[in-house]
Every structure is written in structure tokens, then in C-alpha cells.
Structure 1
Amino acid sequence: MDKSKVIVGLDIGTTSIKVIVAESIQNQLNVIGVGSERSQGLSRGVIVDIDKAAASIKSAVAHAEKKANVPINAVYAGIPANMLNIEKCDGIFAVGEPSREITAQDVAQVVNSALIRNLPPEREIVDVLPSEFIVDGFDGIKDPRGMVGTRLEFHGILFTAAKTVIHNTRKAVAQAGLQLAGLVINPMALGQLILDDGEADFGTIILDLGGGQSTAAVIHDHKLKFSHVDPEGGDYITKDISVVLNTTLANAERLKREYGNADAELVTGDDQFPVAIVGQTNPQMVGEDYLAEIIQARVEQILARLGTGLSQVHAFNLPGGIVVTGGVSALPGVTELVQKVYQRPVKRYIPDQMGLRHPSFAQGLSIVSYIAHLGEIDTLIRQVVDPVTANARPVSSPSRPVTVAPSRPVPTERPAASSQPARTQSQPAAHTPAEPKKKKKKTSQRLKNLFTNFFD
């Protein structure tokens, strides 16, 4: 039996829209097609013109469809961390008969009970991540199906976002002639892709330095615990170069890519390059050190604002250090500058798949990777949260032999993040178990728990 499936990830960025088509075969993920298109109708990571955004999505999907040679009718879209709320949620459900096994329907019922809350009219639930299930006082259960019990409890983390952001994403995807198979929270997917098991467990900061905005996220205990968004990114660096050097935006972008460096101290010598000045016939020579000073000033401002939010949750005390990704992290000197500003170990993530070897593709790749590695219980919970999109068929299975690109390797190098604060989780209504229970914690668990107080 062919158990392969095709997953399509849609990364709707401020500067570009990327579509990644991957085939998942026996837990092996192979990228078979990529499409990219200049973004239209977006501002600071959010769709502000649905018609223009839909046209860009349609064009990017067409490119990916041609390269992958499979029909694309549904996509998984990423949701930015703008105004993302993170809070705990708990639910209790009485199974009933003591000899009856817990079913998927019982799991759906207990998750539903955790979702009963008064949300503000401008917010919508995006996802729920399970922390644990408890069956008759026995805790730490990941999947209670098949167990026998009378009382089922659920503890999880609830993610809500601005309804406008979610609605505009759904509308743009539909207007592009596609079905939305599901929504994925960008920093959560990114954490699963670019962090190893130890980094995700003990706590690590992810900086996603994009073109339209920059996002800082904290992954701890394999969960997204905090996100903070700054509304500035690579586009602001380009505007600074344009204003200071009195050149066009297109020329400023070219200068940034060809001669730019985020750390002026790394630029040595007296190397210069010509700059076409608006209103002048002859170009003017500018030193690379001066260009680096312009870039560094803006990047330091972004890092300072992101650092304020991270300091409030003591994220810099986590042992995992910092991983940077995103298009801006491709600039030379970014990793060195982040390390100077935050005084923490820093590494950059760059995808290693053929055709994706640029940090700007990390987010799109993380979406397909996240969906491919969802477990049965996670899929069941997603169906409870959003039964319509969760049951969408992602894509037709390929009807031909597919020439696959190299599978996802273990990353060695890594990149950066984006803007505007998201709140840490609020305390949910408590459901105390009828009978106290607690097992001994393993010794290896105690060290990790030293850092739990930062978020829980």
C-alpha cells in the first residue's frame, strides 16, 4: 500500500510569498517543489489587501505546482505571531462506566470542555497543544485512548490570535482558488524544525528576522511559551540606506545584498563602491564601513526592542542560547552582532535542502515539517479546534514516480526572527483532581524544571 502523502506549506511573508511542496513517505520528508513570488497586499506580516495577496498566492502556487508536477488544491498556511495570546487551558470529562475504554470521542469531549471560555469578539482560537492527560489521578499520559477509567482530565496550552489576521488569511487563500487545510502558528513550527531535542527541552530563543517584521520566540519544554513581534525588518534597513545615501529603494536593496554587513567592526580596509545618487549624473563612491554603520544602527534598534520583551520573561537565562533565521540573517555579521548585543551563544539556521539553501525559506519548510510530524492525538485535537479545515484533503497523491530532493538533514547552521508583543499565558480556571496524585520525578527531570518558573 502506498502511504505517501503530499503536503503544501504556504508562508505568507511581507516581502515574499513562498510555497513548498513536500512528499511524506514513512516519516521521511522530501521536498519536490518550491514556488516564490513577490508579496503584494501585505504590511508588517499581515494581509491588508486581500485581492492583491490572493493574486500573489496564486502565482506562487502555480510556480510550485509546475516544479512539483502535482496538482495543488489545498495548503497549510502559517499564521504570524502578531497579537498572539498564549494561555493554559484545562478540561474534565466523566467517562462513566468504570470498565469502558476511553475512545477518541471521549478525548474530543474533554478537549471541548477545555475550550469553553469567553473570548473577546476580536479573537479566535488557532490551536491547542496537549501538555498531558490524566486518567483517574494517573498523570503524564500522552494518549489516553484504549485506557480504562471513569474520569478524564486534559491540560494544554491554548493559542488565540486576532480574528482579522485569521479571516484575511482564509479569505486570501480561498480567493486564490485553494482550500485551506489548516493553520500553523509560525514560531511554533519554526521551533520544531530548527531546534534539536535538547534546545527545545531546556529552552531556546528563536529570532526570525524577516523583511517586514522581526519575531522573537521562546521554546521551552518543547512548547512555544512566549512570542514578541517588532514591526521592523529588512525593509527598514533598505529604507535607511535609501534615505542616508540619497538613492532609490531598488538600488539601496542591491547595495545591501552585495556590500552590506550588519557588524561595522568586521569591515576592514577602505573598500568602496559606486552609488547612483538621485539628481546627479555621476555616481558617488561610498565606503563599505559607512554602509555597515547604517545597517548596524537599524539592526541594533530591532534587537533592543526584542530584547526588552525577552528580558521580562528571563529568557536570556535559558541554557539553549539563541538561534537566528529569516532573510535578514543572511546578511554577513548578523550572528556576530546578535551575540554582542545579547551576550549569549548564537547560531544561524539555513535549510540544507536543494533549492532552499537560504534562511528566508526556513519558515515555509517548517510548516510542511510541522504537519508531517503531527501525531494522531495532535491531529485529533486539531479536528476539535477547527473541524472544517482539519478534514481538508491537502493535495492529490502523486500519480507518477517523483524525483525527490534530498531529505531534511540535521541542521548545523541556523537564522533569525520578527515583531509586536504577544502575551504570555494567563492562568486558567483550575480543575483540581478528586484525589491527589503525584509520581516521583526522575532525577534528570529536576535540572530542566529549574527553568520552568520563567513561564509557568
Structure 2
Amino acid sequence: MDNSGLYVGLDMGTTSIKVIVAEKVKGQLNVIGVGNARSKGLSRGIIVDIDQAAEAIRSAVDQAQEKASIEIQDVVVGVPANMLKIEPCNGLITVDENSREITDQDVHDVAASALITNLPQEREIIDIQPEEFIVDGFDGIKDPRGMVGVRLEMRGKVISGAKGIMHNLYKAVSKAGLNVISMILTPLAESHEILNDGEQDFGTILIDLGGGQTTASVVHDHQLKYVTTDPEGGEFITKDISIVLNTSMDNAESLKRNYGSADSEMASEDRDVPVDVVGQSEPTIIDEKYLSEIIEARVDQIFTRIKERLDKINALRLPGGIVLTGGVAALPGIVELATDKFDINVRLYIPDQMGLRHPSFSAGLSLVAYYSDMSEVDMLSRSAVDASMTQVRKAHSQVTNSSNDSSDGKQTGKQKRQKDNKKRGEGIRKFFSDFFE
């Protein structure tokens, strides 16, 4: 499949929003533009203010447009792993009673049939992962197209998330003037880009240490098997430094980046670190080891909670070990601390693309790489998900518009009560005003 073309990935993190513009030519993905803006309207990876989030997205997109010298309209959006569920799914369709060749439409239809599940109203399907196709009882088929059969089945995994999270994400991107061509689960994209073939096959744990939260994903047999999130990340480390050293958040972030280490054993007691303390004209001097002890305490706490969950599913026995990425993974000593904590082999992933050689760009780059590498079968299965999500949003939009139209025509009981209460309030205020005069 020739996936040549331009791709734009949008990674919406708690502390920063990143836009990656990449061009794929003859199988080679080259980054031609990058945008990076401070996040607004997000908390722990979730949008809490649509207008502010849209403004931050637009700022990052404008930067990427200027650097890439193109106008960005279509984006691939990363979906956080909050409130995620991974469940088995099965699809079945009759191709033709007299048997015929299986087509692209048949693959789309069998994926759509697998999506018919009894999901609660508050959940929405994010993605579907085909594991195998079965043609007339013959299993283990990866691509059934061109085969002749009467009955086509699909077995795989369906990934669902909270409908509110998905809606707000889509709404913020749309409000920024962009068209969402696909919404992809970020850990799924990262596992595809970051882990090599052997790590995906034999089993590996991928830990993304973000600014607002930490996400741990387990990949085995080339499938995303388990995802968990911890509600703490780099932002909490900065807050700890700010509180303990009585300094501003900006100064605390600067201290973390310039002098910090996740492993206090690697830090020096002889190296002085100046700290601008609130209320003092002269900076206070501390040693590097003390700063690192503050950082290590928080990172160790995050690792402890992640380890407890991974132990419950025996994930730490997988031969691939742990791969660290995300902005916090740039801290010196993070690999050593993780190795001691989890007692297995740990490596650090940093993108090798020019201008993106920092682990905080892993998610954005993974989105464009994953989407550009999707096979035709994956695209056809994915199209069923996109069609389903489009119908849900269209129905929601119609209900919202209908509600707005009806409210314009007549007052609801609540609106009438509010109007009556307002009149009574005005009457009471006038009484007291006259009384005191």
C-alpha cells in the first residue's frame, strides 16, 4: 500500500500541545514542521475548557504551518488512555450464498458487525484491532481479500473510552478550525513506533511519563493487551520542588530541567544550585543531591503504584522489559531508578528525527508514523470505527440543535422559573433600596 503524502499528528498533553507535520516519500517518513505550545484548558490529559484548549491548539498549529510552509486542515488526533477498556470482539457476515471473492467492502462490513456491542451510553468505541479473519471455518488469515468464500468472520479487540472525553477532544479540535481525519489511541500508536518487532511479539511494557499523568501499556503478540494510568506526572514533581524550596513554579521547572536527577545516588553534594526563594532578595544555595531527593521521592511514588498494577497481571515477567518515554523520561538517572524499582531491564526511547530528539515528542511522532504505516486491512477496519463515530456525533449534533430550536420557540419551565425569580429579586432589591434612602 502506498501511503505517500503529508500527515499531521496532534498530541494534546497536559503541559504542552505538539503538532508534527511529516511527509512520507517511498516509505521514508520525514518531519518537515513542528509546533509546540503551552497547554491550556487541560488537566491530567483531559480537556476541561474547550475554548482555551482550542486556542492552544491553534497556536501550535500556526507554528507548524509556518515551519512547514503549508496550510494545515486535516489532523490525526491522539486519544489519552483515561478510563480505557479493551475487550474481545467477533464479527460475522455472509459474503454470498453461492460464494464469491471477498472484497474491501466485505472487510469493512465484518469489522462493522464486530463493533455491534452493548456498550453503556457513557462509552464510545475508539479503535478495533483485528487479530485474525476466518473464511468458511479456515482461521489464522491476516488478509482475506481475494479469497473465495460464503462466510467471513473476524476476531479481535475493541477499544472503548469515555464518550465525554472523546466528545470534548473532538469539539476542541473542530473549534480550532481543523478536520479530524482519525482519532487514534496514543499508547497504541506509541507501541507501534517505539517497540521493535521482537519487543511487540514477546511482550514489553511501555511507560510514558507525561506532564500531567503517567501511562503504562502492555504489548504482547503485536497486540495492546493492557493499559493503566497514574494521575501524576512531571507537573507534580515541579509542584514538589516549588513547595519544598518555597520558589515559584517557573523557577521550580527551571531547576528540574537544568539541575534535576531522578536518582539521588547519581547527584553531587558538592555542586551548588541557586534557588530564588519567594520573599528573599538573594538566592538560597542548596546542593544538587537535595534537589534530586525531592524529585526521586515523587518518581519513586509513581513507579510504586505502576508496579503494583503490573504485578497483578504478571506483566513484569515479559522478556521485553520496560521502555521509558515521555517528557519526564528526559531526567538523568530515570533509567537507573526504574531498573532498581522494577528489577528488570529498562531502556530509554528518544526519537531520532532531526529537531525531535527529546522523549516528549514521542507521542506526536508516533501518531503520524502509525497512521502512515496502516495496512489496507487496518484502514478498512478503522473506516468502520470512523463511520460509527461520525454517526454518533451527527446524532448528538441534531439533538443539540433541536433542543436549541425548541428553546427559542417557547420558554421551558426552568427558564420561566428563573425569569420569575429574577423579577422577585429585582422587587426585593428595590424595596431595600427605597427603605435605606
CA distance in 1, matches of 2:374, 2:42: 29
Counterpart of 1:115 in structure 2 is 115
CA-to-aligned-CA distance 1:165-220 (integer Å, 9 cap, x gap) = 11011100110001001001000100011111000100000010011110100011
Counterpart of 1:43 in structure 2 is 43
Counterpart of 2:279 in structure 1 is 279
Counterpart of 1:365 in structure 2 is 365
SS of 1:89's equivalent in the other structure is strand
Matches within 5 A, 1:87-106: 87-106=87-106
CA distance in 2, matches of 1:197, 1:348: 17
Could you tell me how far 1:109 is from its partner in structure 2? 2.3
Question: Is the alpha carbon distance of 1:267 and 1:334 closer, same or farther for their aligned partners in structure 2, counting shifts above 3 Å?
Answer: same
SS of 2:148's equivalent in the other structure is coil
CA distance in 2, matches of 1:367, 1:272: 41
C-alpha root-mean-square deviation of aligned residues, in Å? 1.3
Q: Is the Cα contact below 8 Å between 2:18 and 2:35 reproduced in 1? A: yes
Residue 300 of structure 2 is aligned to residue 300 of structure 1: yes
Specify the code of the residue in structure 1 equivalent to 2:244: V
Counterpart of 1:169 in structure 2 is 169
CA distance in 1, matches of 2:353, 2:107: 37
Q: Is the Cα contact below 8 Å between 2:125 and 2:389 reproduced in 1? A: no
Could you tell me how far 1:388 is from its partner in structure 2? 7.8
Question: Is the alpha carbon distance of 1:170 and 1:6 closer, same or farther for their aligned partners in structure 2, counting shifts above 3 Å?
Answer: same
Could you tell me how far 1:272 is from its partner in structure 2? 1.4
Q: Is the Cα contact below 8 Å between 1:238 and 1:252 reproduced in 2? A: yes
SS of 2:143's equivalent in the other structure is coil
Could you tell me how far 1:118 is from its partner in structure 2? 1.3
SS of 2:96's equivalent in the other structure is coil
CA-to-aligned-CA distance 1:111-147 (integer Å, 9 cap, x gap) = 2221111111110001101000001111111111111
Counterpart of 2:434 in structure 1 is none
Counterpart of 2:140 in structure 1 is 140
Question: TM-score, normalised on structure 2?
Answer: 0.87
CA distance in 2, matches of 1:371, 1:299: 32
Q: Is the Cα contact below 8 Å between 1:33 and 1:68 reproduced in 2? A: yes
SS of 1:270's equivalent in the other structure is coil
Could you tell me how far 1:268 is from its partner in structure 2? 3.0
CA-to-aligned-CA distance 1:65-116 (integer Å, 9 cap, x gap) = 1111111111000001001100110112122334411122222222222111
Counterpart of 1:187 in structure 2 is 187
Counterpart of 1:350 in structure 2 is 350
Counterpart of 2:230 in structure 1 is 230
Q: Is the Cα contact below 8 Å between 1:181 and 1:389 reproduced in 2? A: no
SS of 1:340's equivalent in the other structure is helix
Q: Is the Cα contact below 8 Å between 1:215 and 1:230 reproduced in 2? A: yes
Question: Is the alpha carbon distance of 1:3 and 1:256 closer, same or farther for their aligned partners in structure 2, counting shifts above 3 Å?
Answer: closer
CA distance in 2, matches of 1:158, 1:3: 25
Structure having greater relative contact order (Cα 8 Å, sep ≥ 6): 1
Residue 5 of structure 2 is aligned to residue 5 of structure 1: yes
Question: Is the alpha carbon distance of 1:209 and 1:125 closer, same or farther for their aligned partners in structure 2, counting shifts above 3 Å?
Answer: same
Q: Is the Cα contact below 8 Å between 1:180 and 1:389 reproduced in 2? A: no
CA-to-aligned-CA distance 1:297-332 (integer Å, 9 cap, x gap) = 000000011111111111000000100000001010
CA-to-aligned-CA distance 1:326-371 (integer Å, 9 cap, x gap) = 0001010101000000001000000111110110001000000000
Could you tell me how far 1:269 is from its partner in structure 2? 4.0
CA distance in 1, matches of 2:7, 2:210: 24
CA distance in 2, matches of 1:296, 1:10: 31
Point out where structure 2 has 5 or more consecutive residues left out of the alignment.
Answer: 391-437
Question: TM-score, normalised on structure 1?
Answer: 0.84
Could you tell me how far 1:237 is from its partner in structure 2? 0.3
SS of 1:268's equivalent in the other structure is coil
Could you tell me how far 1:28 is from its partner in structure 2? 1.5
Question: Is the alpha carbon distance of 1:246 and 1:269 closer, same or farther for their aligned partners in structure 2, counting shifts above 3 Å?
Answer: closer
CA distance in 2, matches of 1:3, 1:92: 29
Matches within 5 A, 1:41-440: 41-387=41-387
What is the aligned length? Answer: 389
User: Displaced runs of 4+ in structure 1, greater than 6 A?
Assistant: none
Could you tell me how far 1:271 is from its partner in structure 2? 1.2
Could you tell me how far 1:4 is from its partner in structure 2? 3.4
CA-to-aligned-CA distance 1:237-276 (integer Å, 9 cap, x gap) = 0000011011111111111111101001111342112111
SS of 1:386's equivalent in the other structure is helix
Could you tell me how far 1:3 is from its partner in structure 2? 7.3
Bigger helix fraction: 2
SS of 1:83's equivalent in the other structure is coil
Counterpart of 2:414 in structure 1 is none
Q: Is the Cα contact below 8 Å between 1:205 and 1:216 reproduced in 2? A: yes
Question: Is the alpha carbon distance of 1:189 and 1:59 closer, same or farther for their aligned partners in structure 2, counting shifts above 3 Å?
Answer: same
SS of 2:177's equivalent in the other structure is coil
CA distance in 1, matches of 2:384, 2:119: 17
Point out where structure 1 has 5 or more consecutive residues left out of the alignment.
Answer: 391-456
CA distance in 1, matches of 2:387, 2:41: 29
CA distance in 1, matches of 2:32, 2:167: 29
